[in-house]
Amino acid sequence: MMIERSGLIIWVNDIKAARNLERFGSLHYISKKMNYAVLYIHASKVEETTRSLLKLPYVKKVEKSYRNEIKTEYSSDVPDKTRFYTL
């Protein structure tokens, strides 16, 4: 049984304070150079978590990740041309 998760990209002012985001969900990554964090949460709690994150003083902006909406199943209708380029 897989739980539906959704990703949030959280732009922050302070990296040290961004470590506190673990209490909202699974903190996957913190970028020190670009000042953002990637947080995974239950898909049913996206709206309420976003509202509570925006109230924090060190959060600039919260964006929803579109990774779940990207097509990951590919079809191979095109024939493989690698056999023509072998020695």
At residue 49, the pLDDT reads 96
Q: Which CATH architecture has domain 5-69?
A: 2-Layer Sandwich (3.30)
At residue 86, the pLDDT reads 64
Q: Is the whole model's pTM more than 0.85, yes or no?
A: no
The tens place of each residue's pLDDT in the chain, 87 residues long, gives 677 899 999 999 999 999 999 999 999 999 999 999 999 999 999 999 999 999 999 999 999 998 877 887 777 777 777 777 766
* Domain extents in the chain: 5-69
Q: What is the DSSP letter of 56?
A: S
Contacts 24+ apart (CB under 8 A), 74-78: none
At residue 72, the pLDDT reads 78
Dist. CA 75–CA 61, nearest whole Å: 37
